[in-house]
Chains A and B, each alone.
Chain A
Amino acid sequence: MRYIDEFRDSAQVKGILDEIESLGLREGINLMEICGTHTHSISRYGIRGVIPRGIGLLSGPGCPVCVTTEEEIDAIIGFARENRDVVIATFGDMLKVPASVGSLEGVRAEGSDVRVVYSPLDALEVAIGEPEKEVIFCAVGFETTAPTVGATVLKAMELGVDNFSVISLHRLTPPAMRSLMEEGEVRIDGFICPGHVTAITGSEAYRFLAGEYNTPCVVAGFEPLDALLAIYMLLKQIKDGRAEIEVEYSRVVTPKGNTRAKRIMERLFRVVDTRWRGFGLIAASGLKLKEEFSLYDAERRFYIRRMEAVDKDQGCRCADVIRGIITPEECSLFSTLCRPESPLGPCMVSTEGTCSAYYRYERR
């Protein structure tokens, strides 16, 4: 497959690893990726196992499902339970996330109409196909997914569809990175930046990390050779004492990004302060539909009761895993009480979650 197989060519792995080795960086270096798809491919291709011991590959808040707060999921589940005739459309990733009152998978089993879709446009198709039903789309995701939801709302307006609305749970990546740096709980020597978020935002979005925090950044693609090359480029910057924003994934990412997608995102959404699971409140880090589009904002059309934030401590340390402070193995519940078939936290449930990737691909 073009642009996939060339970047999975195992013959090139040894060469890059030798170059990484030759940099001679021995002391503990922490590189953090903050993208669930990176977490997934790094574990799946065993990258952690082939790079030199001293280099730590941490997973940050990269999975949109994991950072959705429990009270947001509880609110959706509570609403679905009380409104069984309303269609709740969601990405597959959201189905199994446990919240205090169960999960969307569980509430579907109780009779609510929860449907998995591949695209927000599919959710709009459901609304068009079943005009007598209200359809709500749970819009999770970062800067890559928000424009697709914005474009879908615009299309709904254009077609005059009045039984379709969206719960916007979108979050923005740079504010989370700033929060990681501000809190400084874990030393981060370099960021592997998310390829497809940056395809939208443009690599300039991370300038503050180099400027204010003197931290090297490399925007990486998702194939194994992309990850290895990006790791090499980061380590080279560290060795040279540089802190720049470099783009490994140059075939897709430009400094400015996708201006048309950004325009749509800015036109439909306003930036709000929002809570992240594991972080608490992060300023200017969430997106909600603007007043002008309130007809399509499920939180305005319906009474989706918001529970107040309840930080229960049942030993689940997803919050620390999400911030990269601990690895899954350091959580006492990992693979004992907390397993894919009996997940206690989102990091184990979501296929993009750090613990799920570790459990599936790195358990010995």
Chain B
Amino acid sequence: MSQRITLAHGAGGTRTEELVKGVFLEAFGNPILEELSDQATVEMEGKRVSLTTDSYVVSPLFFRGGDIGKLSVYGTVNDLSVGGATPVYMSASFIIEEGTELSLLKRIAESMRDALRECNTRIVTADTKVVERGKADTLFINTTGVGLVDDHVELSATNIEEGDVVILSGTVAEHGAVILAERADIDIPFRSDCAPLNGLTSVMLRAGGVKLMRDVTRGGLATILNEFVDASGKGIIIEEGLVPIREDVRGVCEILGMDPLYLACEGRLVAIVSPEAADRVLHAMHCHPMGRGAAVVGRIVAQGRAVILRTTMGVERVVGKLSGENLPRIC
């Protein structure tokens, strides 16, 4: 393991895995934590309770289609929802840099208020700390979310089988492209896809046949699919031509020489669904505003333990994990 933390450790790929396993699991690992999923579901007094935690360090704080406050609520709600939990309570702690304007914090707090109302959940405990100038990039937010899992919900990687269908809830790479475009002074008409998924996941669970869900965030679709492969021990084949993407997002990726499969989303999920339930689930998703663009992008295969992409050129190639910071290139 490299001796010093670099930004690559934060990109959600193999370096992040190295850090998590090499330092944290090593120190306080346990069967639940070792699942390394977005949320942990535990039994408490006969009820299944789901717990998640996340930190938000996005820069810039305000971006087209959202801000760090909105992101912190939706991100927590989404992590719970893809685990089949109904978000109930949240905590939020703020690490604020000395010199930050109060008006900016007010705007972010109001944005969180609107997002909480939209997701029908409440922050029931919070904390604020102030650090010296330069010790934080204006504001960091850490959240914890608690949710209840209904009895009929049975989501686990173990029951994933060959032939299961991979469904993506909408177009990819928008959040990542918004952040990159802003840094490279590229003017764009689209916005971050930052949005809550709790409504969508409940209609999907009601339709039945959903085996596992994950929200696509840091590291993009490719990283999440690789996580499915690790969790299920199976392989995945996806069709490049079926992955929905906006033309202008492709434009940003072409300008910066980047692969959209690795760019972050903030309002998209991937689901593994049994073949017989696929149409039913897809129809249910299309009837929900957050699932209008849902599409089958591939399927589970028995062997391979890898994510294979069949390109529009009809050639198959491995889609590996992100191995460091995803940077624009000139050559």
Contact = CB atoms under 8 A, between A and B. Distances in A.
A–B contact at 8 Å CB threshold (below):
yes
B15 A341 contact: yes
A118 B328 contact: yes
Contacts of B311: 44-46
Interface stretch (A89-97, A161-169, A209-217, A244-252): A89-97
Given A108-B6, A118-B184, A341-B18, A92 B317 contact: no
Given A45-B315, A109-B5, A93 B323 contact: no
Contact of B4 (A63, A96, A109, A340): A109
A188 interface: no
Contact of A49 (B7, B18, B315): B315
Interface stretch (B34-42, B90-98, B102-110, B247-255): B247-255
B318 A363 contact: yes
B317 A93 contact: no
A351 interface: yes
B328 A106 contact: no
Given A8-B312, A46-B315, A109 B6 contact: yes
Contacts of B152: none
B314 A13 contact: yes
B235 to A, nearest CB: 13
A340 B18 CA distance: 13
A93 B257 CA distance: 11
Interface string B292-319: 0000000000000000000111111110
Nearest to B312: A10
A224 B6 CA distance: 35
Interface residues of B, number: 35
B4 to A, nearest CB: 5
A37 B331 CA distance: 6
A341 B323 contact: yes
A84 interface: no
B323 A340 contact: yes
Contact of B329 (A50, A224, A341, A351): A351
A124 interface: no
Interface in A279-300: none
A50 B315 contact: yes
Contacts of A46: 311, 313, 315-317
B246 to A, nearest CB: 12
B324 A93 contact: no
A116 B323 contact: no
Contacts of A109: 4-7
B320 interface: yes
Residue among B5, B18, B314 with most chain A CB within 10 A: B314
Interface in A315-364: 339-342, 350-352, 359-364
B8 interface: yes
A150 interface: no
Contact of A92 (B5, B250, B312, B327): B327
A342 B3 CA distance: 12
Interface string A108-140: 111000001010001000000000000000000
B5 A8 contact: no
A141 interface: yes
Nearest to B3: A106
Contacts of B314: 10, 13
Contact of A95 (B320, B327, B330): B327
A361 B318 contact: yes
Interface string B10-21: 000111001000
A65 B331 contact: yes
Contacts of A106: 2, 4, 6
Given A44-B317, A342-B2, A363-B320, 4 more contacts: A13-B314, A122-B185, A340-B14, A341-B15
Closest 4 pairs (CB-CB, A-B): A46-B315, A92-B327, A340-B323, A341-B323
Interface of B: 2, 4-8, 13-15, 18, 184-185, 247, 250-251, 254, 256-257, 311-318, 320, 323-325, 327-331
11 contacts: A37-B331, A45-B315, A91-B330, A92-B327, A106-B2, A118-B328, A118-B330, A122-B184, A122-B185, A341-B14, A359-B320
